Amino acid sequence: MEQINLENAIEILLENVKPLKEIEEKYILDSLGFVLAEDIISPLNNPPFNRSPLDGFTFNNLDTLGATKENPITFKVISEVFAGDFSKETLNPKEAFRIMTGAPIPNGCNCVIKQEEVSFDENTKVLEIYRELKPFENFCFLGEDLKVGEIVVKKGEVITYNHIGVFASLGINLVKVFKKPKVGILSLGSELTMPGEPLKEGKIFNSNLFTLISKLKYLGVEGIMYPPMSDDPLTVTNFISKELKNLDILITTGGVSVGKKDIMHDVIRELEAKRLFWKINIQPGTPVLASVKDEKLILSLSGNPFASLVNFELLGRPVLSKMSLNSIKETSTIDGIVRGEFSKSSSKRRFIRGYFKNGEIFLNNNKHSSGTISSLIGKNAIVEIAPGTPQLKDGDKVKVILID
Ligand SMILES: Nc1nc2c(c(=O)[nH]1)N[C@H]1C(S)=C(S)[C@@H](COP(=O)(O)OP(=O)(O)OC[C@H]3O[C@@H](n4cnc5c(N)ncnc54)[C@H](O)[C@@H]3O)O[C@H]1N2
Ligand code: MOO
């Protein structure tokens, strides 16, 4: 099968997945990062009453007409209103309430003065005002934040922590959201050992599973983590045909190249899945394989740790983004100036790891092989090197894919 280019591969994958429209109800704190499946309409005026923005005194501003430093106007303070109280007392001329920040402004009052601007005698309850106040000075109106019936957030928005605070401010504790895709991660290879288990001769620890599960978590999806499976096509076929029903997409790693134990080709045949493509014109991650079984995508990434990450970022993310109505964010591409160098020539379109900051992309000068993982620490980007580039030099301009 001929190697196809990356853009073609993405197009084919996107043609084979649909945005997921299943809805569930979530407690607001669990809704972070989900797509809202309903318009949120304000059930109340917020704030629900006129309220004071200051600790001070409230009265009718007409009673302050003519007040100056030299000729203060005197009020009698008849009561105190605290946040959480609600005063029904009526106010006579030249009477005032003491009021605290957030407390409802009683009927008959239309302004608030802060306590630092007045003189007040606690014993006699006499208040002196030294200036005129305007109507509704220091006055927060009922509904000034939101009016009852107003659309607050539209269906289709991705819920952020700001939305969640607004929901809470309206007394809304449950919201309808679109379900996120159920993504299974299966790593293949008889050499794979789970961290925590003893490492036998010839074996290695399974890192792909952990990279991908934690990357999904970072992107807001709880991936389904399967124990690694050895290179036995029948066992893997049976497992996938049983598990695929519970998933929206299966991502596998390893077993896609041309070796005798690269079993995914047999598995796909046994499953009677439709092969969409095998091998794309990039490095690393060339032998990636994509197939569909019962309308579920099986995306089989290269086993090498960096190759599987490149495959995931370039192919997996657009797919998951479409399935999740864009709640799983795509990577973004930006220009960067190379700091450091990459001395290998690239006949194919190549992707290497780097750290991007303020327009510069810092390359580590060793450990670029697709089997090395430690040099991924501290990296937030993949650098694209065009085919036919002899080497990358300090100061070169490159395309940078931000993978955070
Ligand atoms: N004769 C050829 N050999 C290879 C070719 C080729 O074109 N002709 N392509 C090479 C390229 S490029 C890659 S990439 C690898 C891809 O191989 P697979 O995707 O089939 O992956 P595996 O063979 O299963 O593993 C490759 C490598 O990665 C290690 N690995 C696998 N899974 C994990 C894991 N979960 N955690 C950590 N490390 C993992 C595995 O032990 C191997 O070392 O094929 C080349 N060969
Ligand atoms: O292309 Mo492999 O995908 O070199 O790691």
- What are the domain boundaries of the chain? 2-20+180-323, 24-46+145-178, 56-129, 332-402
Give the mean model confidence (pLDDT) for residues 127-151.
97
pLDDT for residue 379: 95
Are the CB atoms for 37 and 178 separated by under 8 Å?
yes
Ligand nearest to the CA of 283: 2
pLDDT tens, position by position, 231-245 = 999 999 999 999 999
The residues lining ligand 2, judged by C-beta closer than 6 Å to any ligand atom, are: 283-286, 302, 304, 307, 370
Under the banding of pLDDT at 50, 70 and 90, the label for residue 115 is very high
pLDDT band at 367 (very low <50, low <70, confident <90, very high): confident
Q: Which CATH superfamily is domain 24-46+145-178 in?
A: Molybdopterin biosynthesis moea protein, domain 2 (3.90.105.10)
| Alpha carbon of 300 to ligand 1 centroid (Å) | 12
Nearest residue to 108 (alpha-carbon basis) of 95, 126, 90, 87: 90
Spatial distance between the Cα atoms of 69 and 54, rounded to a whole number of angstroms = 21
* Dihedral (CA of 163, 165, 171, 176) sign: positive
Q: Whose CA is nearest to atom 5 of ligand 2?
A: 284
**Which backbone phi and psi does 283 adopt, to 5 degrees?**
-145, 125
Which pTM value belongs to this model?
Answer: 0.91
Confidence of residue 359 (pLDDT cuts 50, 70, 90): very high
E strand intervals along 106-203: 111-114, 119-121, 126-129, 151-153, 174-178, 183-187, 192-193
What end-to-end distance do the CA atoms of the chain give, in Å? 33
CA of 307 to the centre of ligand 1 (A): 9
CB 73 within 8 A of CB 113: no
Question: Parallel, antiparallel, or unpaired for β 249-253 and 296-301?
Answer: parallel
287: preceding bond cis by omega (within 30 degrees) = no
Note every long-range contact of 77-85, with CB atoms under 8 Å and residues 24 or more positions apart, other chains counting. 77/120, 77/125, 77/126, 77/127, 78/125, 81/52, 81/105, 81/106
CATH topology of domain 2-20+180-323: Molybdenum Cofactor Biosythetic Enzyme; Chain A (3.40.980)
Which listed ligand is nearest to 193 at the C-alpha? 1
ipTM of the complex: 0.97
Which atom of ligand 2 has the smallest separation from the CA of 288?
A: 3
Give the residues across from 346 on adjacent strands.
Answer: 389
Cα 310 to chain center, whole Å?
A: 21
* Residue (of 377, 352, 276, 356) closest to 319 by Cα position: 276
Per-residue confidence (pLDDT) for residue 1, from 0 to 100 = 60
The 10 Å CB-count burial string (b at 16+, else e) for 64-84 is: beebeeeebbebebbeebeee
State pLDDT tens for residues 265-293: 999 999 999 999 999 999 999 999 999 99
Q: Which atom of ligand 1 is nearest to the CA of 300?
A: 19
* CA-based nearest residue to 206, from 196, 197, 216, 193: 193
Q: Is the pLDDT of residue 204 over 70?
A: yes
Section 21-49 average pLDDT = 97
CATH class, domain 56-129, is mainly beta
Which architecture does CATH list for 332-402? Beta Barrel (2.40)
Ligand 1 pocket member 311 (CB < 6 A): no
